[in-house]
Amino acid sequence: MRILSSIAAACIALAAPVLASAQTPSAPAGVKNIVIVHDAFTDGSGWRTVEDILTHKGYNVNVVQEPLTNYDEDVGAVRFATLAAVGPVVLVGHGYGGEVITAAGARAKVKALVYVAAYQPDVLESVTQLVSSMPAPSNDWVTTRDGHIYFNQSHYAADFAGDVAPERTGFMAVSQVPATLAAFGAAPFEAAWHDHPSYAIVATQDRALSPDLQRWMAARAHSKVTEINASHSVEISQPEAVAQVIENAALNAH
């Protein structure tokens, strides 16, 4: 009996390193830190599946919850997350988050930028200016007297997340995070894509941000473009495709 117990213990000891290596992903090549910046009218929870995919592959992922009160505070929140990371970083911005990473990414520690159905401004170029240059298929922004902006709840499902399940979009609409006119009217003093490689995901069925504007901004920045047949909420409806673009950026960053 003691002999059998000893043999079993030895087998467990030998198997432990194998089991541990199977459960713990090996560190990926290239940049290992990913900082994700969500859009206005939503929050970081929509990035849950993308975060799961990247974490499973060994990346250190931080999803920044911007205050969305003013542009400087949003940029500051992303810079804090970037500084907190141990080693170089890839920044990912969705929608208004693209405006934020354009300024926050102007740091040597940032090695690549990924714009996901995002605004990709140049220096002194605001979201408001870009939107007026090439309007989206819908115009669902609602402004309040105190200077906030939110997405029309009755149009949220169709125009912000047309390929996401209705039971989810209903909650997204009523739990959205408003932005401010001040944030949308502010502009970066630096544009990180001038000095860092950039990648752009164009959501071809986007009704919140013109796909043609997405293409134009990406072409101007010489970004590597991936087109995905999805709504503005592409990170929710096509998480595997979005995660793949982010991983490609990390693997090729230096």
Residue 253 backbone dihedrals phi, psi, to 5 degrees = -80, 145
Q: Which helix (H) or strand (E) holds 199?
A: strand 198-203
Whether the predicted pLDDT of 178 surpasses 80: yes
Whether the predicted pLDDT of 13 surpasses 50: no
Q: How far apart are CA 110 and CA 90, in angstroms?
A: 6
- Band of pLDDT at residue 29, cut at 50, 70 and 90: confident
Could you give the C-alpha distances from 66 to 4, 18, 19, 204, 215, in angstroms and in order? 58, 40, 38, 26, 26
- Band of pLDDT at residue 28, cut at 50, 70 and 90: confident
What is the token pair recorded at 206? 């986007």
CATH superfamily of the 28-252 domain? Alpha/Beta hydrolase fold, catalytic domain (3.40.50.1820)
